[in-house]
Amino acid sequence: MKMLKKITVFTMAAAMLSGAALAQTPRITTGAELVSACTVAIGNGAAADDRIARASCHQFLAGLVAGVYGSVDKGAPMIVRRLGPGMDEEVCFRLPEKLAYATFAEQVTSYAPEHPELYERSAFEMGARTLAANYPCPEQ
């Protein structure tokens, strides 16, 4: 009886883990995908697709900000190079001490309509240019 209990618990745990693996959020790669996910994320939808989009936007933006915070000293400017169609452009931004996910998502969705050329480029470029527009480096 104890062996049967162990097998049942193991089977249930394996099923839960495989279900979690299947429920991973979709990967955001383009500016259009980022804007779409973040537009849904700042809404109040409760549908399963809304929750997936919200999680995708959050995961992408949180990863971008965490990467910046982890690679520069607090308050230091961050220069992002190799942007644009010719990979010859750069932007500079200085993140605030804290940047709320919802604030960043709103900034992305506000910035994007004025820059439709970024929809087909990388989501990273959309995010970096949004940060540069909202938190520009001071003139030196």
pTM of the predicted structure, to 2 decimals: 0.78
Interior angle at CA 131, CA 57 and CA 51, nearest 5: 10
**Helix spans in 23-100 (H):** 31-41, 48-71
Residue 129 host element (H or E): helix 123-134
Cβ contacts of residue 88 below 8 Å, gap of 6+?
82
How does residue 4 score in pLDDT terms, banded at 50, 70 and 90?
very low
122-136 confidence digits (pLDDT tens) = 999 999 999 999 999
61-112 confidence digits (pLDDT tens) = 999 999 998 888 878 899 999 999 999 999 999 999 889 999 999 999 999 9
